[in-house]
């Protein structure tokens, strides 16, 4: 074989296994890492509802993983290419599923992925916000699964969690998730992947929301900002749609901004006349493109395609979007020539009439501390306790004694969190049961204080020592202390604004997810009425 033939064959083989150039962030812009060209998202939200058919459901999961069904990826990726899509947003993936083939198809098509870290049953809920072991396990498992693919741009730690002034305290929990996911990526030595947030467009809290997630320290602020906006309807324009104000408001923002969702359907069919403006000179110096909502037609009537009886049909919206996308060719700056000028973080919100989330964030989930705590107790929740019984007991126990639940409570408006507020529900209940039990034991009523009709039991406590002792000493007997010692004896005091520093070794979790109904906590927890565990 001639040397030239060998070289050609080698080049073909190398090309067949090539991966997309990773997207990196510099200042307020995205760039292709290798060639330094500015990256603008031509995105589509790609996730089908459970009730609509198609997709992959595994085990008892109540959502369809759009990147785990190879047949659907083979069907849809060419259509995404037809729309000149270079990014899809997925709202929930199964971290235990195999995504290799779909991610390779997307890679070959030049399509990147931004993934929400939550899923319907495991997410930060505005009415009962929390940031605990179960959520941490979910978020980090998604990171672990998608970090292996170079066409993963990054992750959303939340989507429209605080959507009006009545629930802004929930943002403290989302921001804690941003902080800890960023720290996890760094601790695992993964390549650069951003962690951001997708916000709705509520005029009353818009400015406070934007500033809150971009204030404090770099370790806890967002890496990019997704703005879900539906204000351009029909034949609107740059000024009437409010896009002009968006450009003005974000002209000095320190991280990339893009439309996390767009595509008003008040006027149908959607002709997507906004596309030319989004990718034109009026906006590309500030915004990095956007993500059309959405690919699949569902009851909300935002689809580009409709699937019935397993057959797919392109809708009028598909053709209009295709026509508009064919016209755009945004040009930006080269990474080497770009000198970021927007480097300052925002000032945290001070308008308490509309903003209730403290700068002080909930503690980082620390499985070692929670495990140490449970082993040290004399009274714990029974292993056979049901989820319903678990929820009912919080409402009972927390009202029985003085500050029984202080160590597990969370008040995001005041920035006050119990050291064990990040433990899983059963661990938290065990702490509350033990606190009540010890109070009753001092009164001579200990014999009856750890039973609750079989839901609680006594155990021989393990003497804490070593790092367990350090952790629990900082937590304090009542659980209201601030824990700064990380797992395995390390210490990290780099975060003065957070209730707990980032662990230098991020814990991994093996327990199953516990899904609970709303707990009645009898006014023990503050924030948005009550913090539901």
Contact 164, 359 (CB under 8 A): no
CA–CA separation, 474 and 39 (whole Å):
46
List the catalytic residue out of 160, 244, 359, 368: 160
In Å, what is the CA distance from 105 to each residue of 55, 72, 203, 326, 449? Answer: 16, 11, 40, 22, 60
Pull the structure tokens for residue 303: 């689809």
CA–CA separation, 183 and 365 (whole Å):
12
CA–CA separation, 444 and 453 (whole Å):
20
Contact 143, 190 (CB under 8 A): yes
Annotated active-site residue 192? The verdict is: no
- Counting beta carbons within 10 angstroms of the beta carbon of residue 456, is it exposed (0 to 12), middle (13 to 18) or buried (19 or more)? buried
Look at residues 394, 381, 374 and name the one whose alpha carbon lies nearest to residue 128. 394
Annotated active-site residue 19? The verdict is: no
Pull the structure tokens for residue 349: 């919100």
CA–CA separation, 139 and 125 (whole Å):
14
CA–CA separation, 210 and 147 (whole Å):
27
Pull the structure tokens for residue 25: 């962030």
CA angle 19, 25, 27 (to 5 degrees): 160
CA 313 to chain CA centroid, Å, is 32
Host H or E run for residue 135: helix 133-146
Contact 276, 327 (CB under 8 A): yes
In Å, what is the CA distance from 110 to each residue of 30, 67, 146, 343, 526? Answer: 16, 15, 16, 31, 47
CA–CA separation, 356 and 352 (whole Å):
6
227 three-state secondary structure: strand
List the catalytic residue out of 261, 274, 324, 427: 261
In Å, what is the CA distance from 157 to each residue of 236, 366, 385? Answer: 32, 19, 31
CA 226 to chain CA centroid, Å, is 12
CA–CA separation, 476 and 134 (whole Å):
23
- DSSP letters of 372-393? HHHHT-SEEE-TT--HHHHHHH
Look at residues 230, 341, 236, 213 and name the one whose alpha carbon lies nearest to residue 286. 341
Contact 451, 443 (CB under 8 A): no
Look at residues 117, 286, 81 and name the one whose alpha carbon lies nearest to residue 193. 117
Catalytic positions, written as ranges: 160, 261
């Amino acid at each position: 074989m001639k040397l030239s033939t060998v070289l050609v064959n080698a080049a073909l083989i190398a090309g067949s296994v090539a991966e997309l150039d990773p997207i990196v962030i510099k200042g307020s812009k995205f760039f292709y890492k290798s060639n330094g060209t500015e990256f603008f998202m031509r995105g589509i939200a790609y996730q089908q509802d459970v009730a609509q058919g198609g997709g992959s459901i595994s085990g008892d999961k109540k959502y369809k993983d759009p990147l785990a069904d190879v047949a659907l990826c083979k069907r849809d990726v060419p259509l995404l290419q037809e729309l000149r899509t270079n990014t899809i947003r997925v709202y929930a993936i199964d971290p235990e599923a195999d995504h290799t083939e779909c991610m390779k198809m997307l890679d070959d098509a030049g399509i990147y992925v931004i993934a929400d870290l939550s899923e319907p049953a495991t997410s930060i809920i505005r009415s009962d916000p929390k940031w605990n072991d179960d959520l941490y396990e979910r978020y980090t498992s998604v990171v672990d699964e998608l970090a292996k693919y170079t066409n993963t741009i990054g992750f959303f730690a939340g989507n429209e969690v605080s959507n009006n002034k009545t629930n802004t305290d929930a943002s403290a929990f989302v921001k804690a998730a941003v902080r800890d996911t960023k720290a996890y990526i760094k601790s695992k030595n993964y390549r650069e992947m951003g962690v951001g947030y997708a916000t709705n467009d509520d005029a009353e809290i818009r400015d406070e929301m934007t500033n809150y997630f971009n204030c404090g320290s770099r370790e806890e602020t967002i890496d990019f900002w997704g703005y879900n906006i539906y204000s351009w309807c029909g034949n609107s324009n740059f000024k009437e749609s409010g896009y002009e104000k968006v450009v003005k408001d974000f002209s000095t923002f320190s991280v990339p901004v893009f439309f996390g969702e767009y595509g008003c359907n008040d006027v149908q069919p959607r002709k997507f006349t906004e596309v030319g403006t989004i990718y034109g000179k009026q906006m590309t110096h500030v915004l990095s493109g956007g993500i059309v909502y959405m690919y699949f037609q569902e009851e909300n009537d935002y689809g580009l395609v409709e699937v019935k009886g397993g057959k797919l049909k392109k809708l009028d919206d598909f053709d209009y979007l295709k026509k508009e996308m064919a016209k755009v060719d945004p040009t930006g700056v080269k990474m080497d020539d770009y000198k970021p000028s927007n480097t300052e973080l925002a000032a945290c919100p001070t308008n308490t009439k509309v903003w209730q989330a403290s700068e002080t964030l909930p503690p980082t989930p620390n499985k070692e501390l929670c495990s140490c705590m449970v082993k040290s107790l004399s009274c714990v929740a029974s292993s056979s306790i049901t989820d319903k019984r678990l929820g009912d007991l919080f409402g009972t126990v927390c009202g029985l004694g003085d500050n029984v639940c202080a160590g597990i409570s969370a008040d995001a408006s005041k920035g006050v969190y119990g050291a064990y507020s990040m433990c899983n529900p059963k661990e938290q209940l065990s702490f509350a049961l033990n606190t009540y039990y010890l109070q009753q034991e001092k009164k001579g009523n200990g014999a009856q204080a750890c039973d609750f009709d079989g839901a609680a039991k006594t155990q021989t406590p393990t003497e804490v020592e070593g790092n367990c002792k350090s952790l629990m000493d900082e937590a304090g007997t009542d659980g209201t202390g601030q824990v700064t010692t990380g797992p395995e004896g390390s210490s990290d005091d780099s975060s003065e604004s957070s209730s707990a520093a980032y662990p230098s070794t991020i814990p991994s979790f093996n327990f199953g997810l516990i899904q609970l109904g709303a707990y009645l906590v009898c006014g023990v927890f503050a924030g948005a009425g009550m913090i539901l565990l």
